[in-house]
Amino acid sequence: RYTFCINHPLLRDKGLGLARQMARRYGGNPSILGWHLDNEYGDEPDCHCRICVAKWQKWLQKRYGTIEALNFAWGNVFWSLEYNRFDQVPTPRHTKAFHSPAHLLAWRRFRSDCTVEMVGLHAAALRDNGVTRPVTTNNQSLWNPRTDYYDLAKHLDVCGTNYYPPYGPACRAGELGLATVRSYKQAPFQVHELRCGPHGVPGLENNTPAPGEVARLTMHAVANGADGIFYFRWRTCPFGCEQTHGSITDYDGRPTRTYREVAVIGNRLKAIAPVLEGTTVSSDAAILYDFPTRWIMETGISWNGPKDLYIQRCKLMYEALRAQGINVDAIGRNQDFSRYRLLVVPFVSAMDDTLADKLAQFVHGGGTLLWHPLSGAKTVEASFYPARLHPTLGRLFGITIEDYATAPLDSTHTFTWNGQSFNTGGFFDLLHLNDAAVHARFTSDWFADRPALTELRTGKGRALYLASLPPRPFYESFFPALLKECGIQPLLNTLPPAAVEVAIRTAPNGRRLLFLLNTSAEPQTVSIPDPRRDIWNDETVQGSVILPPQGVRILTAP
């Protein structure tokens, strides 16, 4: 499995030939609702064969033009790494020394481009030979960052993903993945592999769904933007590497508890489909989720910091925002920022004039931008800007970075905001104020009294610079005030219990569906002041509405 070269001409020729033949034979078949191109593009290990080496060197020549330009962009004067010809530039295979960060970033861009190209060729092979139904494929969301899925989505009619969250208390740990796939095309998507049964692995917790949990997981995906659900798998396979993988039916094909639950889910979805059809997830807040940044922070030398720092900070801020009872998108650098009131940037490297200007336009147009250390510090070739910040961003935030400090992420450094003291750590930008106002100051160590949170109002919006990496308790206090100032209202009149997921899907005519999902093994209560029709349970509710363990309610106006 995965032992192939995606660039090999024989693989491409045979694969595209098969796609063309299938399209010609079945393209007009009215029973076919859509076309799935292939499974998990980009999941194969990096290939360093002679074909990939030659293609890599051509890709470099097209991107940089001259070898002198490549040497300059990569800073190859360091460690005497200058090349004389493009055919001298190797793929970054494992060596006993480190590869240049710029070299590694270029390689990740190249591998992503190869995958995106392959998807485009497969999609074109179908469309050019009579296929008119939607074309899709399943990406690997958060756990395979090797392909820029925002870029890949341009070849698809509908985006898709796999989704295998844990059961039990941590069941929403992968929810950010649904927000990303929803945001690739700013449209509903499909889950092509949704876990549905217990995995028969001794000793693992959160590996068996409680009664009702498959239904709750299914509607969790729908609440976050899925318009299609495919469970994996139908029947447990008795052999091979996935023989313990839970399924709808068991090894002998016998209907299981999961089978009976899925049957109920299917009947209920069929009944409410006319109401769900045409609704989408609409958000006023978003986080910036950026593949080049993740490539920089997760690839290469350990001096970049913990390899999971990027994704953990993205999850922290996404989850803290969602806990305020609002919808939150996870958008890429090339998408439309103007549709949001609040944009949170956990980290963004690979900064260029285009992105910096776009962020400035977002603020000038009325948006609120929340920034964090190390963002905007590097060029698109992974080199630091002299001032550790793109010049446009320095003006946007009204600050200069004078110095910096590091500490463990769980350190007990402190700062004060709104009369409260909060722990913080990880990294500290020590700021000089040009035009910005101060909302918080550090209160420990040698940089005590330095600004910890600044704000500059410009145009119709404002730019906030949080100068360290605090843990979640700060955001739980800060986000409610920030959302109120941005005019972003919670989806409920009061905050839901921590165990209750809240989401809204909205129809083009403004009709809204409120999803309430109990993620716990205990009953939960939510206050609904006005009478609402619960289309999932076919009843009208009002007042203190009870959600049973793993319970689902979908409320609309009566």
Span 425-444, pLDDT tens digits: 999 999 999 999 999 999 99
Residue 522: per-residue pLDDT: 98
Global pTM value? 0.96
- What residue has token string 């009702």? 212
pLDDT for position 464:
99
Note the pLDDT of residue 453: 99
Q: What is the pLDDT of residue 410?
A: 87
Q: Which CATH number fits domain 500-556: 3.40.309.10, 2.60.40.1180, 3.40.640.10, 3.40.50.150?
A: 2.60.40.1180
The residues near 510 (Cβ < 8 Å, ≥ 6 apart) are: none
For 253, phi then psi, to 5°, come to 80, 5
- Please report the pLDDT score of residue 1 as a whole number: 81
The C-alpha atoms of residue 319 and residue 289 are separated, in whole angstroms, by: 14
Q: Where are the beta strands (DSSP E) in 387-426?
A: 399-406, 413-417, 420-424
Q: How far apart are CA 434 and CA 398, in angstroms?
A: 5
- Which amino acid, 454? T
Alpha-carbon distance of 372 to 495, in angstroms, equals 27
Using CA atoms, how far residue 183 sits from 49, 220, 349, 429, in Å, is 34, 16, 20, 31
How big is the CA angle at 447 (ends 443 and 449), to the nearest 5 degrees? 45
Helix and strand element counts for the chain (H, E): 13, 22
Torsion over CA: 199, 204, 210, 213 (sign): negative
How much is the pLDDT for 302? 61
Domain limits of the chain? 1-133, 285-325+342-486, 500-556
Residue 301's pLDDT is 66
430, 447 contact by CB (below 8 A)? yes
Q: How far is CA 172 from CA 223, 286, 291, 376, 475, in A?
A: 12, 18, 22, 30, 18
Buried b (16+ CB within 10 A) or exposed e, 290-318: bbbbbbbbbbbeeebbeeebbbebbbbbb
> Is the distance from CB of 105 to CB of 299 less than 8 angstroms?
yes
* 8 Å CB contact between 157 and 188: no
pLDDT of the residue at 541: 97
The CATH number assigned to the domain with range 285-325+342-486 reads 3.40.50.880
CA nearest to 463, candidates 319, 364, 328, 352? 364
Could you write out the DSSP letters of every residue in 216-232?
A: HHHHHHHHTTEEEEEEE
Rounded CA Rg of the chain: 25
pLDDT of residue 493: 86
In this structure, what DSSP letter does residue 235 have?
A: B
Cα 349 to chain centroid, rounded: 16
Reduce the secondary structure of 86-103 to three states and give it as a string.
HHHCCCCCCCCCCCCHHH
Q: What is the pLDDT of residues 379-422, one digit of tens each?
A: 999 999 999 999 999 999 999 999 999 998 888 899 999 999 99
Q: Do 152 and 119 form a contact (C-beta atoms < 8 A)?
A: yes
Side-chain-side CA neighbours of residue 347 (13 Å): 28
Ranges of residues in the chain whose predicted pLDDT is under 70: 301-304, 558
Q: What is the pLDDT at residue 558? A: 57
Q: Is 190 exposed, middle or buried (0-12, 13-18, 19+ CB in 10 A)?
A: buried
The total number of residues shown for the chain amounts to: 558
Q: Among 213, 42, 64, 192, which residue's Cα sits nearest to residue 111? A: 42
Residue 13 has what pLDDT? 97
Q: What is the DSSP letter of 16?
A: H
